[in-house]
Amino acid sequence: MKFTKMQGCGNDYIYINGFEEKIAQERKPELVRKISDRHFGIGGDGAIFINPSDKADFEMEMYNADGSRAEMCGNGIRCVAKYVYDFGLTDKTDISVISCGQVKHLQLFLKDGKVETVRVDMGAPILTAEDIPVNPLPGREKQRIIDEPIKVQGKEYRMTCVSMGNPHAVVFLDDVEHLDIEKIGPYFETHERFPKKINTEFVKVLDRHTVQMRVWERGTGETLACGTGCCATVVACILNGLTDNAVTVKLLGGEIRIEWDGADGPVYMTGPAVSVFTGEFPI
């Protein structure tokens, strides 16, 4: 099987051209677990199959490292855009990509004939508890979860919940550098409030235009970046009155720019997409 390893701010995935590589659907979860292994496989936060689509220019079929299917990945979709342009699957610099029924529109920015950065219209954030989904407090099924308490391992945190096509809980802290995320992350991910598990962003606000974030992704663990997590983080910042409408999110793997008007408009994400290497893997 031919593949390309790509990353956006260190959030790395293995990309497979579904136009050429025909792999049975039932084999994909096991294959993804195998190739995502950083010791015995290729190594990555998961795998993404780039497939034909009759509803968009391309389909992104994304899997976490544990083989579970994921709805959306902001860093992943930027790399899809780079792949399809750089490898000649399209010559357009404005494309659409569908993932789990969600169509996103992407603008590609080139340098020396290759895609360097991508701006993605991530759509409007989903904010009601039952649609994220989060198990709401009694009588609050239709309500937003903004600065709401949650007890995890005996400690109370405050969370703001957002879906960007996948569920996120954003937690604001005074210090994220020294957070023992490997210890607390799994307990957030599997907390009873989250019926489909949760991606958790631990965030420190640096100023009105800049935040620092670490992320625990369901099915993977801590990653160096999360594009949808950056979007959810800035939405949560704006809902809590902590930042302005355009924010740079500082991640372990780099920086991503997020813009949201704070109303019903879409969230825009701009960030890098990088090819690491190509190869073949025996399957």
Residues serving a catalytic function are 73, 226
DSSP string, 131-158: GTT--PPTT-TTSB--SEEEEETTEEEE
In whole angstroms, what is the distance from residue 179 CA to residue 70 CA?
26
Torsion from C-alpha of 201, 206, 208, 211, nearest 10 degrees: -30
Closest CA to 16 of 46, 41, 43, 50: 50
In whole angstroms, what is the distance from residue 166 CA to residue 64 CA?
13
CA distances to 81, 82, 91, 110 from 113, rounded to whole Å, are 14, 11, 11, 6
Residues in the chain: 283
Record the tokens describing residue 21, joined without a space: 């590589």
